[in-house]
Amino acid sequence: GIQVEQSPPDLILQEGANSTLRCNFSDSVNNLQWFHQNPWGQLINLFYIPSGTKQNGRLSATTVATERYSLLYISSSQTTDSGVYFCAVQGGKLIFGQGTELSVKP
């Protein structure tokens, strides 16, 4: 089955810093989504991005499907950005990576 690897596993930032999270996947996929799981456990949709680039406020994402990776950019991070960021791909079912745990310090 498809393997999904996220890096880094953990990240600590000072408020205001920028970061890039990476997601590698082992096979071609028809769907790629980024989620934020907040400290209360809620999974919040960030991007549906099987290919190309999208931006939403301070967040943006790029998927290069031919090279089997996706990047999530967080700019001017805020403490409310803390939580776990998951990449998930679908080639039959949505398969999640292990996540990047982000902690933003004031």
The two most distant CA atoms of the chain are separated, in Å, by 41
- Cα dihedral: 33, 19, 54, 51 (round 10): -50
**Minimum distance from CB of 51 to another protein (Å)?**
11
Token pair 């919040």: residue: 44
70 vs 38: CA distance, rounded Å = 21
Which residues contact another protein by CB under 8 A?
29-31, 33, 35, 41-45, 48, 50, 86, 88, 90-96, 98-99
Closer residue to another protein in complex, CB, 10/15: 10
Closer residue to another protein in complex, CB, 74/97: 97
Closer residue to another protein in complex, CB, 60/91: 91
Residue 4: name the closest of 74, 93, 83 by CA. Answer: 93
